[in-house]
Amino acid sequence: MTDAVRMSLEEVHAAAKAAMLGQGFAENHASAIANTVTAAERDECRHHGLFRLPFYVNGLRSGQASPDIEPVLTELSPSVIKVDAGYAFSPLALETGDAPLAERAKEFGIAALAVTNALNVAALWPEVERLAVRGLVGFAFVSSSPYVAPAGGMKPLFGTNPMAFAWPRLDNPPMVFDQASSASARGEIQLRLRDGEALPDGWAIDNEGRPTNDPQQALLGAQLPFGGFKGSNIALMVELLAGPLLGDKISFEQAAHDKANTGAPCGGELVIAIDPAKFVAGGDRAAQLRHAETLFSRLLAQDGARLPSGRRYEARRRTTAEGVMVPRSLVASIEAYAAGRQVTERATYEGDHITAGAASA
């Protein structure tokens, strides 16, 4: 990264929090957003790091997101809890539901958290990883704005609809994967647009349904699911689990609700926690996890194979010691946010509008 500034993770957190406070978020929301953005920077998932702050700001300035509403936790059944985010961003609602979800999973063997009415522009691995560090298996599903054409179709219908899965390990951090059901996350396309790079084949079609490698045409056309109809079916499942199952919106309904076209969709997220010890008679979690390790070690014995999350943990070790490099232009925007100013990032993607230009107050 040429014109970049090195920041420690503490500085990243402080800068992100100050930016959110400067834009009018309440302290608890600003902290929760800074937590999730910092975790993404720490693990070198930059598309969900500081790069995302404009999305939070756009959601707030458009009037779509509440800056300060408190999430409301209710029990729908002994093992199903709900956190209504009240049209605020998801990080605080997820933090609110985390401990009650884990407690219920340990009591009943399986429990679910329905987060509703949440604007979600984050990665999902934090919510499942923190379950797995406590010995639980975690799943998370979220739908988004309709950007992805179903297999065989040409028009956007599904969100990029990520799902995440975490498995606890005895002597290692959890094995976690977190992946969109589209061929790429939308943030990857936005970053390539910003950096003037072409897209790999198979990521997108233009608005006439023709394959395209141009990020701008892709954003105006449709993304493609990964793996053809198989990814398309997973996207369909995620729509159902994060929408109708929770009494919340399908991606196309989220778009209708996002009248200001902020690119910060508002809908549901399903998080499921399972206690492995409750799934075998006698409940020997350690034996189950040791058994799982035999699979991991065979996988790792193959040259070229790796576990998902291995890259993140390696990045975490490095950035915890060395900090991260942040583009100077982004640092300037973050400082402007902290001072309460409005900023147009160069080539920031806002909803379906791509803006290019100098930062402005």
Q: Which residues bind ligand NDP (CB under 6 A)?
A: 120-125, 142, 144, 160, 162, 177-180, 184-185, 188, 306, 308-312
In single-letter form, the type of residue at position 213 comes to: N
Task: Report in angstroms how near the CB of residue 83 gets to ligand NDP at its nearest.
Answer: 16
Taking the CB of residue 69, how many other CB atoms lie within 10 A of it?
A: 17
Residue nearer to ligand NDP on the CB measure, 22 or 190: 190
Contacts of 201 (CB under 8 A, 6+ apart): 211, 213
Phi, psi for 118 (deg, rounded to 5) = -115, 135
Residue nearer to ligand NDP on the CB measure, 140 or 338: 140
Contacts of 291 (CB under 8 A, 6+ apart): none
Task: Report in angstroms how near the CB of residue 359 gets to ligand NDP at its nearest.
Answer: 26
Segments in the chain forming alpha helices (H): 9-23, 27-42, 53-61, 90-108, 125-132, 186-195, 215-220, 229-242, 251-257, 285-300, 310-322, 328-338
Which letter does DSSP use for residue 145 in this model?
Answer: S
Task: Report in angstroms how near the CB of residue 360 gets to ligand NDP at its nearest.
Answer: 27
Residue nearer to ligand NDP on the CB measure, 15 or 235: 235
Task: Report in angstroms how near the CB of residue 192 gets to ligand NDP at its nearest.
Answer: 12
Residue nearer to ligand NDP on the CB measure, 138 or 162: 162
| Dist CA 163 CA 157 (whole Å) | 17
Residue nearer to ligand NDP on the CB measure, 234 or 338: 234
Residue nearer to ligand NDP on the CB measure, 115 or 123: 123
- Residue closest to ligand NDP when measured from CB atoms: 123
Residue nearer to ligand NDP on the CB measure, 184 or 262: 184
Task: Report in angstroms how near the CB of residue 167 gets to ligand NDP at its nearest.
Answer: 12
Region at 10 (left for phi over 0; alpha for psi -120 to 50; beta for the rest): alpha
| Dist CA 145 CA 151 (whole Å) | 17
Task: Report in angstroms how near the CB of residue 122 gets to ligand NDP at its nearest.
Answer: 5
Task: Report in angstroms how near the CB of residue 315 gets to ligand NDP at its nearest.
Answer: 8
Which of 123, 99, 133, 134 lies closest to 113 in space, CA to CA?
99
